C-alpha cells in the first residue's frame, strides 16, 4: 500500500510541477528494508535482504531464458582512478546508487544509464588502506544514502541531490584506520564495523542515529574492553584477562572490517571479527576472545548475546570476518533457525543462530593443514600442532610451515549466496596455501621489529578459484565450477534456478543452480570483483554488476599476483536485462 501511495504522490507532485526530487524524497522505510529479500522491484540493502542470502524470488530469467540476457547500458566511473570495484549496487524507484573505488558514489538512472549526480569524497593525504581503495556498497534509508570512506568517515547524502547531510569521523585514519564495508541500517540505526590499523587496534561495532549520525552504542570485540551506550560506559566485553595475558587485550586486533548482517526473526546482528594481535601466537597464550569469531549482538544496546570462535588462538591470520547468513535449516523433519559461515580457515560452519551452538562444520576447500577437523561436541578445532608457525628464537626465523588455506582465505570478503529453492549455499572459494613463518627481524618505520613472513602459492596448476554449491544439511559439495584466477566477487542466486558470479578474467557468468552447468557469460572488459544484483523493472528482469579489477590479490598475492598482473583495470557499472518477448 505504501508503494502505491508513493506512486500516487509522485504523479500528483509532477502534475503541480514540484519536481521529482520532492516527490521521491521520502525514500524507503524500515519496513521496506526488512522486506527487501521479498520485494522484487528494488534492491534496498547490501546482501539483498538483511540476512544476506542474496536470493531473488524472480523467475523470468532461468537456465533456458538466460541466453537472451543482453546488456542495456554501461556506465563509466570516469576519472583517472580505477583499481578494484567491489561494490554492490542499490536499486530504488528507477535509480541505481553505486559506489566506486577511491570513495566515490554515483546515482544513475536505471533505465537509461544517465548520471544524476556524483559524489567524490575528498581523501586526505596520508591515508593508508591496507588492501586497495575499494568500497563495497552504500546503504539507503528514507531520504538519505550512506557510505563509508577510506579515511574512516561515514557520510550521509541526500539521495536525490547527492548533497552531504552529515559526515562523521568513525576512527582516526592517521592511526591507520579505514572503512570499506557497506553500512547496515536497522530500526533507524546505522551500524558499522571498523577496519585497518594492523597493529594497536581493537575491533569495534558501532551504532549511530541514521538521522543525525550521533553515536548510540559501541561494542569492542576484544575481551576486557568497555562498551558504551548513550555516551556512558555500558558493559565490559567478556571477562578481563580470561583469555588474554597482561594488557594485550587493549591492542588485541579483532577488526570488524567486513561489516555485518541482521536477522529480523531473532532480532540479532551478526558481526565477524578479525585475527588477534600480535602476530606471534606464542606471545599471547589463550583463546584470545573474541578474535576470529562471529558475535551475535543486540541492535538495541550493543550487548553480546553469544559468540562462536572459528579459530581460537589464531596463528595463521585467519580473520573470522566472513558474513553469517541466516537461513532455515530443514533437517529430519524440523526447521532450525540456523546461520552459515564460510570461514577464511577453510571450514563451512552451520550454527544454531539462536544460541551460537555448532550444528555442523565441514571443509569447503580441498586442503586444510592447520586443523584435522572441528569437533562437533566441543565446537573447537582439533589442531595440527606441528602446523603452527614457530616462535622466533635466536637469530633464526621461526619454523616455517606450509599452511592451507593461505591468509587471503579459503574465502575472502566476497559474499556467498543461499537459495531457499535449492537449499544450497553457493560459496566463492579459492584453493591456495602459504609458506608462513614468524620472522625475527624486519623493519617498520625504520625500526627493527618482529614480523611474520608469508608467500602465497596456488595448490593446483589449472585453477585457484572454485564456486562451490554446499549442502548445509550434510556439508557435502554438490557441484563446483573451477576458475583459473582466484574468485574475488560476490554471488547472487535466484528462484529461476540460476547462480551468478564474476571472474577476474572479466566475465559475469550464470550457472544452473542445481547442476552447476555454465549457461551464460558476458565479458565486461575488466575483472569482476563486485556483487551482482537482480530486480524487476517495467515488467522485465534486470541484472547489474560492477566491473573493475583490483582488491587484495594484486597487492598481496605473491606468486598469484604475478599470474593476474596482465588483467587491465577498469571502473564501470554494467546493466543487463531479459527483454520482453
Where on the chain is the footprint of another protein (CB under 8 A)? 83, 102, 123, 125-128, 130, 132-133, 174-175, 198-200, 245-248, 250-251, 277-278, 280, 282-285, 391-395, 440-451
Report the residue number, 231 or 246, with the smaller CB distance to another protein: 246
Which of 340, 293, 339 has the alpha carbon at shortest distance from 314?
Answer: 293
Name the minimum Å distance from CB 245 to another protein.
5
CA within 13 Å, CB half, 329: 25
Helix (H) or strand (E) holding 22: helix 20-24
- The CB-of-129 to another protein minimum distance in angstroms stands at 8
Grid cell listed for 471 = 549442502
Quick check: 184 and 259 in contact, CB under 8 A?
yes
Q: Which residues contact 12 (CB under 8 A, 6 or more apart)?
A: none
Residue 150 or 477: the one with the smaller Cβ distance to another protein is: 150
Which is closer to another protein, CB of 185 or CB of 450?
A: 450
Closest CA to 433 of 258, 557, 280: 557
Omega prior to 290 cis, within 30 of 0 = yes
Q: Which three cell numbers stand for residue 491?
A: 554471488
**Cβ proximity of 178 and 150 under 8 Å:** yes
- DSSP label at 284? S
Here the cell at position 2 is 505504501
In the complex, what is the shortest distance from the CB of residue 396 to another protein, in angstroms, rounded to a whole number?
10
Write down the least CB distance from residue 436 to another protein, Å.
15
Calpha distance 287→314 (Å, rounded): 8
If you ran DSSP here, which 8-state letter would residue 559 be given?
A: H
Give the CA-trace dihedral at 293, 296, 297, 299, to 10 degrees.
130
Please tell me whether residue 32 adopts helix, strand or coil conformation. helix
Active site positions, annotated: 317
In the complex with another protein, the residue whose CB is nearer, 68 or 250, is 250
Q: Which DSSP category does 31 fall into?
A: H
Residue 32 or 319 having the CB closest to another protein: 319
C-alpha–C-alpha distance, residues 217 and 330, integer Å = 35
Query: Among residues 127 and 190, whose Cβ is nearest to another protein?
Result: 127
Q: How far apart are CB 179 and another protein at their closest, in Å?
A: 15
CB atoms within 10 A of CB 510: 27
Q: Which three cell numbers stand for residue 413?
A: 570478503
Least gap, CB of 497 to another protein (angstroms): 41
Distances (CA, A) of 553 to 178, 432, 556, 557, 564: 18, 12, 5, 5, 8
Q: Which of 95, 456 has the CB closer to another protein?
A: 456
- Least separation in angstroms between residue 81's CB and another protein is 9
Residue 241 Cβ vs another protein, minimum distance, rounded to whole Å: 8
Radius of gyration of the chain (CA): 23
Give the bridge partners for 96, in sequence order: 91, 108
Amino acid at each position: 500500500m505504501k508503494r502505491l501511495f508513493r506512486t500516487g504522490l509522485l504523479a500528483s507532485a509532477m502534475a503541480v510541477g514540484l519536481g521529482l526530487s520532492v516527490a521521491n524524497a521520502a525514500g524507503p522505510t524500515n519496513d521496506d528494508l526488512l522486506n527487501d529479500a521479498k520485494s522484487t522491484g528494488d534492491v534496498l540493502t547490501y546482501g539483498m535482504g538483511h540476512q544476506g542470502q542474496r536470493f531473488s524470488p524472480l523467475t523470468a530469467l532461468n537456465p533456458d531464458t538466460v541466453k537472451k540476457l543482453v546488456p542495456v547500458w554501461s556506465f563509466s566511473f570516469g576519472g583517472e582512478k580505477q583499481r578494484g570495484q567491489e561494490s554492490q549496487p542499490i536499486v530504488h524507484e528507477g535509480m541505481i546508487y553505486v559506489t566506486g573505488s577511491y570513495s566515490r558514489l554515483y546515482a544513475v538512472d536505471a533505465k537509461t544509464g544517465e548520471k544524476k549526480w556524483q559524489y567524490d569524497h575528498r581523501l586526505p593525504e596520508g591515508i593508508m588502506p591496507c588492501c586497495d581503495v575499494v568500497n563495497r556498497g552504500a546503504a539507503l534509508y528514507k531520504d538519505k544514502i550512506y557510505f563509508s570512506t577510506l579515511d574512516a568517515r561515514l557520510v550521509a547524502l541526500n539521495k536525490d541531490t547527492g548533497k552531504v547531510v552529515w559526515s562523521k569521523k568513525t576512527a582516526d585514519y592517521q592511526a591507520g584506520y579505514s572503512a570499506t564495508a557497506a553500512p547496515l541500517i536497522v530500526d533507524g540505526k546505522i551500524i558499522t564495523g571498523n577496519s585497518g590499523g594492523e597493529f594497536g587496534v581493537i575491533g569495534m561495532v558501532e551504532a549511530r542515529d541514521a538521522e543525525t549520525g550521533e553515536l548510540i552504542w559501541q561494542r569492542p570485540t576484544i575481551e576486557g574492553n568497555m562498551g558504551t551506550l548513550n555516551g556512558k560506559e555500558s558493559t565490559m566485553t567478556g571477562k578481563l584477562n580470561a583469555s588474554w595475558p597482561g594488557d594485550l587485550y587493549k591492542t588485541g586486533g579483532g577488526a570488524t572490517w567486513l561489516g555485518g548482517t541482521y536477522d529480523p526473526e531473532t532480532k540479532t546482528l551478526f558481526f565477524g571479527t578479525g585475527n588477534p594481535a600480535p602476530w606471534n601466537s606464542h606471545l599471547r597464550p589463550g583463546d584470545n576472545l573474541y578474535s576470529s569469531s562471529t558475535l551475535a549482538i543486540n541492535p538495541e544496546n550493543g550487548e553480546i548475546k553469544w559468540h562462536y570462535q572459528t579459530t581460537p588462538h589464531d596463528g595463521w591470520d585467519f580473520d573470522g570476518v566472513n558474513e553469517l547468513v541466516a537461513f532455515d535449516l530443514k533437517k529430519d523433519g524440523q526447521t532450525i533457525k540456523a546461520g552459515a559461515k564460510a570461514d577464511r580457515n577453510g571450514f563451512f560452519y552451520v550454527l544454531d543462530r539462536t544460541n551460537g551452538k555448532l550444528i555442523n562444520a565441514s571443509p569447503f576447500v580441498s586442503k586444510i593443514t592447520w586443523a584435522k577437523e572441528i569437533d562437533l561436541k566441543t565446537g573447537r578445532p582439533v589442531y595440527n600442532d606441528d602446523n603452527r608457525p614457530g616462535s622466533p628464537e635466536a637469530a633464526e626465523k621461526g619454523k616455517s610451515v606450509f599452511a592451507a588455506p593461505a591468509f587471503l582465505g579459503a574465502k575472502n570478503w566476497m559474499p556467498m549466496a543461499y537459495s531457499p529453492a535449492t537449499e544450497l549455499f553457493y560459496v566463492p572459494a579459492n584453493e591456495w596455501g602459504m609458506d608462513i613463518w614468524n620472522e625475527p627481524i624486519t623493519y617498520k618505520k625504520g625500526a627493527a621489529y618482529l614480523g611474520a613472513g608469508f608467500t602465497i602459492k596456488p595448490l593446483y596448476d589449472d585453477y585457484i578459484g572454485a564456486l562451490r554449491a554446499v549442502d548445509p544439511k550434510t556439508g557435502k559439495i554438490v557441484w563446483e565450477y573451477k576458475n583459473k584466477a582466484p574468485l574475488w566477487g560476490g554471488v547472487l542466486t535466484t528462484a529461476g534456478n540460476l547462480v551468478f558470479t564474476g571472474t577476474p578474467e572479466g566475465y559475469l557468468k550464470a550457472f544452473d543452480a542445481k547442476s552447476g552447468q555454465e549457461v551464460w557469460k558476458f565479458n565486461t572488459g575488466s575483472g569482476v570483483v563486485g556483487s551482482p544484483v537482480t530486480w524487476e523493472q517495467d515488467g522485465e528482469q534486470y541484472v547489474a554488476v560492477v566491473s573493475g579489477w583490483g582488491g587484495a590479490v594484486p597487492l598481496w598475492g605473491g606468486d598469484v599476483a604475478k599470474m593476474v598482473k596482465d588483467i587491465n583495470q577498469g571502473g564501470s557499472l554494467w546493466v543487463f536485462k531479459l527483454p520482453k518477448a
